Amino acid sequence: MEREDLFRKISVANDKKIVLLVLDGLGGLPVNDRTELETARTPNLDLLAAESELGLSHPIAPGITPGSGPAHLSLFGYDPLKYEIGRGILEALGVGVSVGARSVAVRGNFATLENGVISDRRAGRIATEKNREIVAFLRERIKTIEDVEVGIYPGEEHRFVLVLTGDALSDGVTDADPEVTGKPITYAKAKNEEAARTARIANLFIDRLTRELADFHPANTCLLRGFAKYPAIPSLNELFKLKAAAIAVYPMYKGLAQLVGMEILETGRTLQDQVATLKRHYGEYDFFFLHVKKTDSYGEDGDFSHKVGIIEEFDRWLPEILELTPDVLVVTGDHSTPAVMKGHSWHPNPVLLKSAFQRRLPANGASLDAIACGPPDGQACGKVNVASARAKFSETACARGVLGTFNAMEVLPLMMANALKFKKFGA
């Protein structure tokens, strides 16, 4: 039996509530012997950790550094090697465009055509404002090609997203990109017969755009890459009978949540807004995904102390979430983003799972982990209360946790089990 068939078979709906709190890029690497999470003063997380199951999760597999797409698919319970999200789709999600089953999404670059050859594949990295103007102009002029609807959406600098919508479109199309400068426009080619129409439409689009932008040098042509259809992912409702909602600020994460059938709740840009949104809709769903972006952003910037600051801010809002008394609560990351690496990494995610049916290491066991407690100045351990002094939510404590080290795609099944939403398998 396949893993997903097992989930379909044993999942049951009930009124228990699951809350998944994702601090993007949470895991880190030490500076002065402590990671970002270990450096942060997090009395509320520490108190919770003392009463929770801890562990570490690999987003994909040991040693594999994931992008946000596969990392989130894994957290949502899917095998990220089974479902690949094409670049075009990710790009569309990133600019907040929904892509339906009849559409193909494509990454576009504005580029420069001079003397019949591409002289700059990024059109001199035009300003984003200029990009928006050009896209507005093109939208007026190119609305359909044959019977295919054309959607054009601006990105940053020279980037845009093209969404073609019509019957029988295919993503079996090669990139329309010479890859180096000094070559003429390279057209898309169909990889198979079914894709012939899509390739023709894409190439007609390139020609139309190039004609329309004749006076827009340096942005007077385009490259098209990463043709991708919406992946056929079974929804969280199909697999797990969950009624799921997402509380995310950034379009990419809303898009990823939408891919698996979550409803996207309107929310503001601050953590306070997100927590308020969670409270407002708490009665309406049985699964909530709340996404905190800035831990990752500061990690990518190599800004250790601001990443610490975001973790501390999250810690201050945690009690308001705990007041909702969810039946199952998880705090984790989608992948690690150590500030010292200025980028995503393969290091496994800290995982904290709180439920009524947890095993945890007993108090005196947890006290072993208290070695890692408190910030470098040595003050916090004396200040925090006894319970929180017993454990610290940290990579170190998680590495010794009762959950062990496991694959992130098992986080959702574990939450399902703890919410008693899984029946017994076999007799």
Pick out residues in 330-369 that bind a copy of itself (CB under 8 A).
338, 341, 343-347, 357-359, 361-365, 368-369
Comparing CA positions, the residue from 314, 366, 348, 408 lying closest to residue 28 is 348
Determine the residue type at 412. Answer: L
Q: Which is nearer to a copy of itself, 201 or 408 (CB)?
A: 408
Q: Which is nearer to a copy of itself, 286 or 395 (CB)?
A: 395
**Other Cβ atoms within 10 Å of 5 Cβ, number:** 10
CB of 151 to a copy of itself, least distance (A): 20
Scanning 18-26, 69-77, 122-130, 172-180 for contacts with a copy of itself by CB under 8 A, the matching segment is 69-77
Structure tokens at 189: 């080619």
Q: How many CA atoms lie within 13 A of 159 on its CB side?
A: 12
Alpha carbons 18 and 80: distance in angstroms, whole number:
22
Q: 10 to 49, contacts with a copy of itself by CB under 8 A?
A: 10, 29-30, 33-35, 38
| Residue 378 interacting with a copy of itself (CB under 8 A) | no
Alpha carbons 368 and 267: distance in angstroms, whole number:
40
User: Which backbone phi and psi does 148 adopt, to 5 degrees?
Assistant: -100, 130
CB of 207 to a copy of itself, least distance (A): 29
Scanning 78-86, 177-185, 230-238, 260-268 for contacts with a copy of itself by CB under 8 A, the matching segment is 78-86
CB of 51 to a copy of itself, least distance (A): 11
Determine the residue type at 238. Answer: E
**Other Cβ atoms within 10 Å of 364 Cβ, number:** 8
SS (H, E, C) 324-337: CCCCEEEEECCCEC
246 forms bridges with which residues in the sheet? 264, 289
CA distance readout (Å), 416 to 23, 77, 240, 285, 321: 20, 10, 8, 14, 19
| Residue 327 interacting with a copy of itself (CB under 8 A) | no
Q: Which is nearer to a copy of itself, 34 or 130 (CB)?
A: 34
Q: 80 to 139, contacts with a copy of itself by CB under 8 A?
A: 80-82, 84-85, 87, 90
Q: Which is nearer to a copy of itself, 58 or 197 (CB)?
A: 58
Structure tokens at 414: 């574990």
Q: Which is nearer to a copy of itself, 43 or 59 (CB)?
A: 59
CB of 62 to a copy of itself, least distance (A): 4
Scanning 62-70, 108-116, 166-174, 285-293 for contacts with a copy of itself by CB under 8 A, the matching segment is 62-70
Scanning 152-160, 208-216, 318-326, 402-410 for contacts with a copy of itself by CB under 8 A, the matching segment is 402-410
Identify the three-state secondary structure at position 224.
strand
| Residue 151 interacting with a copy of itself (CB under 8 A) | no
CB–CB of 120/148 below 8 Å? no
Strand 117-120, strand 159-165: pairing: unpaired
CB of 145 to a copy of itself, least distance (A): 27
Work out which of 36, 46, 334, 395 binds a copy of itself, going by CB under 8 A: 395
